[in-house]
Amino acid sequence: MKPLRDCRIYTFVDTSYLNGCPATEVARKLCDGGSDIIQLRAKTSCTDEIQRLADAIAPIAEQACVHFVINDHLAISSRMPQPFVHLGQEDFFDAGHIQVSDLRPPNPKLRVGLSSHAPDQALRAMNAGADYVAIGPVFPTGTKPGRPAVTLDYVRWASTHIQIPWFAIGGINLENLDEVIQAGARRICVVSAILQAPDIARACQRFRQRLLSAPL
């Protein structure tokens, strides 16, 4: 699998946006479209169902050499062949953790991504040893209802202050992608603009092609 620094397009198997399509089929389409990272997000599913989905998607991602991230569920992630978890600020710092290394026993291979919604949170995540930081939501988005947009100003700030891989996220689509790139983003997360497209693989390819036009 490519290093996180070389990853450009971060996509999702979000159970709120599957529209009746099997999660495994969505994962395959994302891999076919050139996704570098796939996150399983299943906010309304029980733990057993998330484990079942993770077990089904993990081999698809591994065969395609795509990083596979579990949202929120550290225990499930730790059982994956390539353990990788994404946590919000409240799931990490508010839970009493200070350093990402606190989570690694008993699995030293665990990697951790952290959300951030302001510069101080991004710096705190970076200093805690996060493998990457998510910057957003850049624009208003239905995936984070009630969360105010951080605007492109936060993207511009991140481009000059964050030294680890970071991904702009939130309301990004093909119409505003150029603005996000011009603000300094070279890696993005996309949910609905890909999952709700008529052709998931093609939509993913289009985002990837546009991102590759801007060198890292």
Q: What is the pLDDT of residues 47-78, one digit of tens each?
A: 999 999 999 999 999 999 999 999 999 999 99
Residues 58 and 80 sit within 8 Å (Cβ to Cβ): yes
Tens digits of residue pLDDT in 140-151: 876 666 678 999
pTM: 0.96
Q: Find the domain containing 100 and state its range.
A: 4-113+169-212
Per-residue pLDDT, 96: 92
Whether 136 is covered by a domain: the verdict is: no
Whether 145 is covered by a domain: the verdict is: no
Whether 151 is covered by a domain: the verdict is: no
Per-residue pLDDT, 143: 67
pLDDT bin (cut points 50, 70, 90) of residue 131 is very high
Tens digits of residue pLDDT in 160-191: 999 999 999 999 999 999 999 999 999 999 99
Per-residue pLDDT, 147: 75
Is pLDDT of 107 > 80?
yes
Nearest to 122 by CA among 93, 165, 150, 158: 158
Is pLDDT of 33 > 90?
yes
- Main-chain dihedrals φ then ψ at residue 85, nearest 5 degrees: -125, 145
Residues 37 and 66 sit within 8 Å (Cβ to Cβ): yes
Per-residue pLDDT, 140: 87
Per-residue pLDDT, 112: 97
Whether 62 is covered by a domain: the verdict is: yes
Work out the average pLDDT over 33-50.
Answer: 96
- State what percent of residues in the chain have pLDDT above 70: 98
Whether 85 is covered by a domain: the verdict is: yes
Per-residue pLDDT, 148: 86
Strands in the chain per DSSP E: 9-14, 37-41, 67-71, 84-87, 111-116, 132-135, 166-168, 188-189
Whether 128 is covered by a domain: the verdict is: no
Per-residue pLDDT, 141: 78
User: What integer best gives the mean pLDDT of the chain?
Assistant: 95
Per-residue pLDDT, 216: 81
Domains of the chain: total: 1
Work out the average pLDDT over 33-54.
Answer: 96
Is pLDDT of 159 > 70?
yes
Measured CA to CA in angstroms, residue 170 lies from 22, 24, 134, 216 at distances of 24, 24, 10, 21
Per-residue pLDDT, 26: 98
CATH number of the domain at 30, please. 3.20.20.70
Whether 28 is covered by a domain: the verdict is: yes
Whether 13 is covered by a domain: the verdict is: yes
